[in-house]
Amino acid sequence: MNIKEIQDDIIDEFSMFEDWMQRYEYMIELGKALPLIKEEYKTDDNVIKGCQSKVWVHADLEDNKLVFTADSDAIITKGIIAVLVRAFSNQKPQDIIDADTQFIDDIGLKEHLSPTRANGLVSMIKQIKLYAVAYQTQIAKPTSPQRGS
Amino acid sequence: MIHTVLDILKIREDFPILKRKVNGKPLVYFDNAATSQTPQYVIDVIVDYYSNYNANIHRGVHALSQEATDKYEEARIKVQTHFNAAHSHEIILTSGTTHAINIVANGFSSLLKKGDEILVSAMEHHSNIVPWQMLCERTGAIMKVIPMSLDGELLMDKYHALLSEKTKLVFCNHVSNALGTINPIKEIIDAAHAVGAAVLIDGAQAAPHIIADVQALDADFYTVSAHKICGPTGVGFLYGKEAWLNTLPPYQGGGEMIAEVTFEKTTYAGLPHKFEAGTPNICGGIAMGAGLDYMNSIGFDAIAAYEHELLEYATDKLLQIEGLKIYGTSKNKTAVISFNVGIIHPYDIGTILDKLGIAVRTGHHCAQPIMEFFQIPGTVRASFSFYNTKEEIDVLVEGVKRAKAMLE
- Using the Cβ of A77 and the Cβ atoms of chain B, whether some distance falls under 8 Å is answered with yes
List CB contacts (< 8 A) between B363 and chain A: 51-52, 118
Q: Which of A51, A54, A74 sits opposite B348 (nearest CB)?
A: A74
- A76 in a structural domain: yes
Strand duo B379-383 + A65-72: pairing: unpaired
H-state helical runs in B53-201 = 63-83, 97-107, 130-139, 156-162, 185-194
Which of B347, B352, B408 is the mutation pick for testing A, counting most A CBs within 10 A? B347
Contact A74/B at CB under 8 A: yes
User: Does A26 touch chain B if contact means CB atoms closer than 8 Å?
Assistant: no
Looking at the domain assignment, is residue A53 inside a domain?
yes
**Residue B203 CB contacts under 8 Å (≥ 6 apart), including other chains:** B97, B173, B174, B175, B212, B222, B223, B224
User: Mapped to the 3 state alphabet, what secondary structure does B170-184 carry?
Assistant: EEEECECCCCCEECC
Do B400 and B318 meet the contact criterion of CB atoms below 8 Å apart?
yes
**Count of CB atoms situated within 10 Å of the CB of B395:** 19
d(C-alpha A127, C-alpha A50), whole Å: 12
**Superfamily, domain B8-30+299-407:** Aspartate Aminotransferase, domain 1 (3.90.1150.10)
Q: For residue A103, what are the domain limits?
A: 3-139
* Inter-chain residue contact B23 with A118, CB threshold 8 Å: no
Is A66 catalytic? The answer is no
pLDDT band at A87 (very low <50, low <70, confident <90, very high): very high
Splitting chain B (408 residues) into consecutive groups of 10 residues, what average pLDDT does each group show?
Answer: 73 97 95 97 98 91 94 98 98 96 93 95 88 91 95 97 97 94 97 98 96 98 98 98 95 78 81 92 98 97 97 98 96 96 94 94 85 91 98 98 94
CATH of the domain at A69: 3.90.1010.10
Among the listed residues A5, A16, A51, A145, the single catalytic one is A51
- B360 contacts in A (CB within 8 Å)? none
Closest residue in chain A to residue B407, using alpha carbons only:
A75
Geometric angle at alpha carbon B227, from B221 and B230, rounded to 5° = 110
Q: What is the pLDDT of residues B211-245, one digit of tens each?
A: 999 999 999 999 999 999 999 999 999 999 999 99
Predicted confidence band at A146 (pLDDT cuts at 50, 70, 90)?
low
Does A23 touch chain B if contact means CB atoms closer than 8 Å?
no
Q: What is the pLDDT of residue B60?
A: 78
- Give per-residue pLDDT as tens, A33-50: 999 999 999 988 788 876
What residue type is assigned to position B217 of the chain?
A: L
pTM of the model: 0.91
Question: Nearest-5° angle of CA B75, CA B385, CA B394?
Answer: 165
Instruction: Establish whether this prediction's ipTM goes over 0.85.
Output: no
Question: Which residue is closest to A118 within chain B, CA to CA?
Answer: B347
**Residue A122 resides in a domain:** yes
- Comparing CA positions, the residue from A18, A16, A14 lying closest to residue A82 is A14
3-state SS, residue B228: helix
The whole-angstrom distance between B358's CA and the closest CA on chain A is 15
B contacts of A52 (beta carbons < 8 Å): 345-347, 362-364, 377-378
Domain topology for B43-296: Aspartate Aminotransferase; domain 2 (3.40.640)
| pLDDT score, position B4 | 58
pLDDT of res. B266? 79
Chain A residue numbers with beta carbons less than 8 Å from the beta carbon of B344 are 75
What was the pLDDT predicted at A115? 53
- Asked if the structure places residue A147 within a domain, the reply is no
How far apart (Å, rounded) are the C-alpha atoms in residues B194 and B289?
35
Cβ pairs A/B, distance under 8 A: 46
Please check whether residue A75 lies inside any domain of the structure. Answer: yes
B346 contact residues in A (CB cutoff 8 A)? 52
Q: pLDDT tens, B311-340?
A: 999 999 999 999 999 999 999 999 999 999
Q: A21 CA to chain B: closest CA distance, Å? A: 9
- Per-residue pLDDT at B61: 86
Residue-range domain boundaries for chain B:
8-30+299-407, 43-296
Note whether B8-30+299-407 and B43-296 share their fold.
no
Report chain B residues touching chain A, CB-CB < 8 A. 23, 344-348, 351-352, 355, 362-364, 377-378, 406-407
Which chain A residue has its CA at the smallest distance from B355's CA?
A: A20
Question: Is A77 a member of any domain?
Answer: yes
CA B389 to chain centre: 23
**Which of the residues B136, B230, B283, B366 is marked catalytic?**
B366
Query: Number of structural domains, chain A?
Result: 1
